């Protein structure tokens, strides 16, 4: 079966898990999801179908600029959630 996947979701979640303690924001599931959803809406999607495509895209997204873009989007999301938490 050929399923598609937006691997940006995985990348944003991984970066969030690495920097969550530095975001100075609530880490409950609701706030986490709000921060990640905000970041994903600021970043371009990267859809893949094959395992090879997933590996290639992850290597591409691990480049420093993309990692900085993800970190920046998560930081902005955390600032908004900190100011207006929904929990």
- Backbone φ and ψ of 54, nearest 5°: -65, -45
Counting residues of the chain whose pLDDT is more than 90, the rounded percentage is: 63
Q: How many domains does the chain have?
A: 1
Calculate mean pLDDT across residues 33-49.
Answer: 95
Beta strands in the chain (DSSP E): 5-6, 47-48
Q: pLDDT at position 56, please? A: 73
| Residue 69 in tokens | 């873009």
Q: How far apart are CA 9 and CA 68, in angstroms?
A: 15
DSSP H or E segment with residue 44 = none
Calculate mean pLDDT across residues 23-42.
Answer: 97
Domain with 66 in it: 5-83
Q: pLDDT at position 24, please? A: 92
User: Rounded to two decimals, what is the model's pTM?
Assistant: 0.86
Residue 37 has pLDDT above 70, yes or no: yes
Q: How far apart are CA 25 and CA 63, in angstroms?
A: 26
pLDDT tens per residue across span 45-75: 988 888 777 777 777 767 777 889 999 999 9
């Amino acid at each position: 079966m050929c399923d598609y996947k937006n691997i940006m979701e995985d990348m944003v979640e991984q970066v969030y898990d690495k920097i969550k303690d530095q975001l100075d924001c609530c880490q409950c599931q609701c706030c986490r999801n709000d921060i990640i959803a905000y970041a994903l809406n600021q970043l371009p999607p990267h859809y893949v179908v094959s395992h090879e495509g997933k590996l290639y895209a992850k290597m591409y997204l691990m480049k420093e600029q993309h990692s900085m873009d993800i970190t920046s989007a998560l930081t902005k999301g955390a600032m908004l959630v900190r100011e207006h938490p929904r929990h």
